[in-house]
Amino acid sequence: MLDRAEVLRVAELARLELDDEGVERVAGQLSRILDFVAMLDSLDLAGCEPASFAPAHAPARADEPDGRQLAPGAATAGAPEADHDFFLVPPVVENLEP
């Protein structure tokens, strides 16, 4: 099982705020995910061909515009915050050295 420091580091990278209960819950969940990936990694796949779901030589769609457009006002109509035709979002990068 992942230790508390590892979970807190992953939470920091993902910008998650976890309380003590959350750290324990996430530690268990991440440990199960990593155990599953380790199990997949241990499978002997020698001789198995990779699966393909679409022919590599044929595009999934015609590469031509279809003329549809969403007006800026319609795009921002459902946004929690907008200024004219622009979405307002909180800053992602903090200024660490003003």
**Res. 54 pLDDT band, cuts 50 70 90:** low
CATH code, domain with 37:
1.10.20
Q: What is the pTM of this model?
A: 0.50
Name the token pair of 78.
């459902």
C-alpha neighbours within 13 Å on the C-beta side of residue 35:
8
Element (H, E) at 13: helix 4-13
Supply angle C-alpha 55, 57, 60, rounded to 5.
60
The count of domains in the chain is 1
Tens of pLDDT, residue by residue over 30-50, are: 999 999 999 999 999 898 888
**Is 11 a member of any domain?**
yes
**Is 56 a member of any domain?**
no
Query: Do residues 58 and 52 make contact, with C-beta atoms less than 8 angstroms apart?
Result: no
Average pLDDT over residues 3-11: 94
